[in-house]
Amino acid sequence: MTLDAFPTWLPVGSDAAEPVDVFGLLPAGEEQLRRLVSAVWSADVDRATLEQCRDRIDALITGTARPPAPDRPTVAQRAAADFAEQFVLDPHGCTDEQMHALQDHFTPPQLATLTTAIAVFDALARVRAVLARPQEGTP
């Protein structure tokens, strides 16, 4: 999930179908939020892995999946995306086995980045899910 503008049911703007920079409406914290998101993407976990995690989270929260990436995910990317899924569904459900498996692929600093990234993606996806304008034909 990104900080991109999206149509919202919030009473802002003249055309409800037009995308709105919703995060720009924050009276405080917008700049800090953008810095955090930027820091996540520029840290020590590769972009493809972060995209796998982001897309898995988006699919879980929105109920819609993006087209799969052209390249098959690596074992490390699958482990990261599985961790992201468990984080969204039940963070206490992360098992010792799952956490140890992650350490086969990622260093502790990378796991700190990965966990922060997943938390940010989860939060942004939920904000968007709640504030986005419902599409025509959806309940």
Rg (CA), the chain: 16
Tell me the DSSP string of 106-131: S-HHHHHHHHHHHHHHHHHHHHHHHH
- Our CB check for another protein shows the closer of 15 and 96 to be 96
CA–CA gap between residue 72 and residue 84 (Å, rounded): 18
Give the number of residues in contact with another protein, rule: CB under 8 A: 25
Footprint (CB under 8 A) of another protein, residues 34-73 = 35-36, 39-40, 43-44
CB of 137 to another protein, least distance (A): 30
Residue 51 φ then ψ, to 5°: -65, -40
Per-residue string for binding with another protein, 7-26, x by CB under 8 A? -------------------x
Per-residue string for binding with another protein, 88-117, x by CB under 8 A? ---xx---x--xx--x----xx-xxx-xx-
CB of 70 to another protein, least distance (A): 29
**Residue 51 CA: distances (Å) to CA of 13, 15, 43, 112, 129:** 31, 31, 14, 17, 18
Which residues does residue 39 pair with via DSSP β-bridges, in sequence order?
none
Interface ranges with another protein (CB under 8 A): 26-29, 32-33, 35-36, 39-40, 43-44, 91-92, 96, 99-100, 103, 108-109, 111-113, 115-116
